[in-house]
Amino acid sequence: MIQYPVGAGGTVTRVLEAGIGDQAMLLIHGVGARADRWSHNLEGLAAAGYHPFAYDLPGHGLAHKGADYDYSVPSFARMARDLLDELEIERTYLVGTSLGGHIAATLACEIPDRIAGLVLVGTVGITPIGAERRGQTQMLVTETSPDAIANKFRVILHDDSMATDALRREEHRMNTSPGASEGLEGIATYFGERLDDDVIGERLAALDAAFPILIVWGREDIGFPLELGYAAHELLKGSRLAVMDNTAHSPYYERAETFNRIVTEFFAGQLGREPIDGVEVA
């Protein structure tokens, strides 16, 4: 795996890349996270024949931070498209988690001819999540003290042991770095006040299966419960739904090997042919 800075539409970000070849796969993280949250997935997906790229959203990780950015899903989607152009990726699979799923779905609606497939992981933005959940997330994003970060990991991870001291320290350093507070405040305000204005589910459904869609959800997700996954699956006719036991809002991170298997079997047209331990497929 390699990493490097890239300018995408005038915005500098960090890219993590694994593998080679023309089966590109763009992985988009969620609020308060960063590209290396996919570090448990990149090499496995590359070993399966894909060429995955993960990157930091503006306001996160090592990307541009500060108040001088439009922290909204449409803006993030434009930046993702610019990144594809900069990396000279003509056609790609998209994998997005939480807000990253909303961004991926929006990008897919903008450039459907360039999308080989879409994976939505515990995603928002397919159906409205409502003011209460938006407000809860807004508070989680803006609180960056060590205690608040520990509490956030209790929400997004089912297995407490995965929230190591090193991970919590790194999260604190990243999210209190220069410009981070302004960036996270902008993202939190958008999430709390305007996220549901940009819901994309109906538009995505209207594409009428232009590319295969997989929805993945953690059964123990308390922040964005499984009912939202069922609602997305119902709206997106022809989609598949994989529910992963013993995971919360980050199933790709908690059970990376299993997640990679779900994704690769789905795109190979084999998901559900053989049972996967701790996974329910619909």
- Confirm whether 261 is domain-assigned: yes
**pLDDT on residue 158:** 94
Helix, strand, or coil here: 132?
A: helix
Give me the chain's average pLDDT, please: 94
DSSP E strand stretches across the chain: 2-8, 11-17, 24-28, 51-55, 92-97, 115-121, 213-218, 240-244, 279-281
| pLDDT score recorded for residue 210 | 87
Rounded distance between C-alpha atoms, residue 266 and residue 272, angstroms = 8
Q: What is the pLDDT of residues 63-84, one digit of tens each?
A: 999 999 999 999 999 999 999 9
Using the predicted structure, report yes or no on whether residue 147 has a pLDDT greater than 90. Answer: no
Tell me which residue range forms the domain holding 46. Answer: 2-128+197-281
Q: What is the pLDDT of residue 270?
A: 95
Distance CA 138, CA 192 (A): 5
Residue carrying structure tokens 């930091």: 56
Residue 2 has pLDDT above 90, yes or no: yes
The model's confidence at residue 150, banded by pLDDT at 50, 70 and 90, is: confident
Label residue 143 by pLDDT band (50, 70, 90).
Answer: confident
As beta bridge partners, residue 56 has none
Helix (H, G, I), strand (E, B) or coil at 195: helix
Q: pTM of the prediction?
A: 0.96
CATH of the domain at 248: 3.40.50.1820
Distance CA 31, CA 185 (A): 11
Per-residue confidence band for 137, with pLDDT thresholds at 50, 70 and 90: confident
* Spatial distance between the Cα atoms of 129 and 245, rounded to a whole number of angstroms: 22
Residue 173 inside a domain? The answer is no
Pairing of strands 92-97, 115-121: parallel
Q: Answer whether residue 270 is part of any domain.
A: yes
Q: Is residue 176 part of a domain?
A: no
Average pLDDT of the segment spanning 228-252:
96
Number of domains making up the chain = 1
pLDDT band at 112 (very low <50, low <70, confident <90, very high): very high
